[in-house]
Amino acid sequence: MLMPNSAVPKANALADQVRAFFTDAGISARTFNYDFENPGITPNLEGIELLIVIGGDGSLLRAGHFCAPLGIPLLGIRSGRLGFLVELNESDLEQKLEKLLKAEFRLERRMMLKTELFSHDTLKHSWDVINEAVICRGNDVHPIEVRVDLNEGYLNSYIADGVIVSTATGSTGYALAASGPILPPELRNMLILPIAPHLSLDRAVVLAEGAEVNLFPTIKHDVVISIDGMDPVLLAEGDRVHIRANQHSLYMVRFGEPNYFYRNLAAVMQRNPILENGKP
């Protein structure tokens, strides 16, 4: 299935190009135009062997939430500004699609997180997480207090704008913007990182896959939780956020060698997408 970001005209044009390529090869591919910024109808992925997303990293993240629980591999084609996660560009599109038809690719397994919100030990929400779970301040411009416990007990209490709990995939997202370390995507680790900490531990903490994290926010002002950049949920006194490794993984189609990540890292880091588009 092809899933272009319907809000991006370039994505729709690329979807037509890819569908024509598959048609010429005698392969049926249907298109589901999805508005990733205003989600509504959930795509029917029954019988789908591969989901091809056309957009930026944000589009790929949203699509990953659909396909990961079903074990459907994901391939990204860049039509947006950021490309840490997307695999293909216009310049190598048909060449890589030829490799796809010849099965000359590998599946990269990405660790996900399971995040649960409890209110006085009653489960309120549950999310699958590809990038990160963030507890942060809401409308009020005040630091928040968050206590972090691990399996072994108390870790730290943060006074900060927020706390990020990230996967290795998410280490190139919000965690990177908050000066966190970059983790290779194949690592199955959890990263804890404060945002603008004040009189608190300001170093990132890397945890093993088997770790479990409980976060206890102190509610003096608005405090919210956001999953993978989606709409925030307001937290209340007595809420607890529990995070652990997810039973599901995200499988991504890759054509390069396993060390592609390090080769591409510097190029992506040095390219400012806003300047590329000619905007100040």
Which residues are known to be catalytic? 57
| Helices vs. strands in the chain: H and E counts, helices first | 6, 15
| DSSP string for 109-143 | EEEEEEEEEEETTEEEEEEEESSEEEEEE-SS-S-
User: Which residues are registered as beta bridge partners of 135?
Assistant: 163, 225
3 state SS of 135: strand
Give me the residues paired with residue 120 across strands.
none
SS3 call for 62: helix
- Chain-centroid distance of CA 105 in Å reads 22
DSSP labels, 170-199: GGGTHHHHTTPPP--TT---EEEEEES-SS
- Tell me 151's DSSP state: T
Token pair listed for 179: 């000066």
75, 255 contact by CB (below 8 A): no
Two structure tokens written together for 130: 């590809």
User: What are the beta bridge partners of residue 233?
Assistant: 225
For residues 66 and 197, what is the distance between their CA atoms, to the nearest angstrom? 34
